[in-house]
Structures are given as C-alpha cells and as structure tokens.
Amino acid sequence: MIEQYDIALNTPAGRLTSTVEVPTGLVPVSAIVPLMRRLGEEAQALEEQQSIAAGNTLSCKKGCAACCRMLVPVSAPEAFALRDYVQTLPDAERARLTQRLAVTRTALLAHGLWNDLLEMGESANPPDDAALEPINRAYYALRLPCPFLEQEVCSIYEQRPAACRELLVTSPAEWCQDLVANPVQPIAVPVRIGPALGLLWGELTDTPPRLIPLATALAWAERHHEENQPRWQGTQLLDRALDKIWRFLSQAFQQKETTTAQGDS
C-alpha cells in the first residue's frame, strides 16, 4: 500500500512544500531513493529561481556533457537502485552498457586508478576532501566519458545519481571544458542527497557511510547485493531520511548566516 504525506521544509531559498507517496510495507532502502532525489531537486529549483531572479542564466542544457567526465560519488542506496534499474534494461542496451563499463575499467586500470576507486568504495573511512582531491584531478585529467553517457547524452537520465542533478552552473558553458583552469559558478546546493542517503544507510546498517565512485557502482552493488536484502517500513525510512535532510538544511542556513555576516563586515 501507498500513503501520501505532505512535507514542508524551510530552505535558504524559500519554503518547500511537497506531497510524497510512501510505501507502508517493508521495502529495501533503495525504495527511498526516488523520493529523496525528488526532494533534492525541488529544493534545488528554489535556488535556481532565486539565482535567475538575481539576473543569472543557467548554462546547463542537453548535450552539454563536460561534467560527465568528472568523478561522481554515489551512496550505497543509489548504487543498489542503479543495479536494480540496469537489470530491467533490454538485452541490447545492457550489452552496450557492459561494453562501455569494460572500456572505462580498462582505461582506469591502465592509469592506475581502478584499484584506488574500488578501495574508496570499500573503505570504512572514506577520504576527506584533501585526500580525495588528487584522485579527483587524476580522474578528471583522463577526460573519460561516464560509462552511462551515450552519444553525449545520459542514457540513465531519469535514474542518474543525485550528484549529477546538483551540479548546475551560471558561468559560461565553455568554462566547464576545463574545470581546473576556470572558476565555474555553481548554483548553491542546500541538500546533498547522496551524502544524506549515505548517512541513512550507515545508520540503518551500523556501518560507515560509503563513498562509491559511479564508475565502480554496479560492481560494488553486485559484491554487496546481500546487504540490500533487509527490509524496513517505508514510513520509518522516510522519517530517518527527513532527519538527514534537516541536518543538511541546518548546515546550509548556518553557512548562509556566516556568509552574510562576513559580507556585512
């Protein structure tokens, strides 16, 4: 059965109100992923509206795939949801994806990055920003297209990770061709849904949050598929997930207050 819940969240860009459908029975943690992504996108839309009202123009559009050469982190629930989705694809489409994944793996092995990415997804202590930066730069330097990119278009657009949905810029699109040299201007992200889902997973399983590179996500989900067998009440998952969202919104408000105070001074 499904129940509807009205949700209201205060964000730095305004008040978000949304009606969500939640399964009342026992479901895997991946069942909460679409709902969480939707809330993240609705919060992001408020930031977009605020930015446009300030005179900015959103540069991102279909076919602009420079950011699809970046190292994209996903949470464990997202990795499981992606694996479930890929299993529903027609054989021919799944075969093309398998081939692109193999090409990506071969390239990463050749440049000594594949094992680093695997280790990142397995580590009980995910690297902090300082430790992750060299890997980010090395991966980006390869300009490898995402294995889910087909003819410069995302082949899993409706199922793409939260991190992909959250990178929106108002700086010129051509600047994104070299993110190291160009100071792109991203729209603020009030809620990082991937990390929020990672915190949820860690709380449910009493394990550390995982930072899983997208290029290795299907392999990770396959190795850990038994961990996706437990079931939780859908409403319980929603309550716990909203708690993580509120944490991020609280941090966003604090950051905004700090930025405002520094501007005033």
- pLDDT > 90 in the chain, percent: 72
> Which of 37, 70, 36 shows the shortest CA–CA distance to 169?
70
Residue ranges in 111-192 assigned as alpha helix (H): 114-122, 129-142, 162-166
What per-residue confidence (pLDDT) applies to 179?
Answer: 79
SS3 per residue for 22-42: EECCEECHHHHHHHHHHHHHH
- Report the relative pairing of strands 26-27 and 232-233 from DSSP bridges: antiparallel
Q: Work out how many domains the chain is built from and give that number.
A: 1
What does the pLDDT look like over 225-247, one tens digit per residue?
Answer: 999 999 999 999 999 999 999 99
Residue 209 · residue 77 · CB < 8 Å: no
The reported pLDDT for the residue numbered 60 is 86
Q: pLDDT averaged over the chain?
A: 91
Read off the pLDDT of residues 138-159 as tens digits, 9 standing for 90 and up. 999 999 999 999 988 999 999 9
**Domain range for residue 186?**
2-264
Predicted local distance difference test score (pLDDT) of residue 53: 94
Question: Which tens digit of pLDDT belongs to each residue from 95-108?
Answer: 999 999 999 999 99
Query: Band of the pLDDT at 118, cuts 50, 70, 90?
Result: very high
Name the token pair of 30: 């991946």
Q: What's the pLDDT at 26?
A: 95
Q: 32 and 241 in contact (C-beta within 8 Å)?
A: yes
Q: What is the pLDDT of residue 125?
A: 78
pLDDT band, very low/low/confident/very high, at 265 (cuts 50, 70, 90): low
Look at residues 246, 46, 76, 49 and name the one whose alpha carbon lies nearest to residue 161.
76
Rounded CA-CA distance 206/236 in Å is: 16
Q: Which two tokens stand for residue 67?
A: 């950011």
Per-residue pLDDT, 264: 67
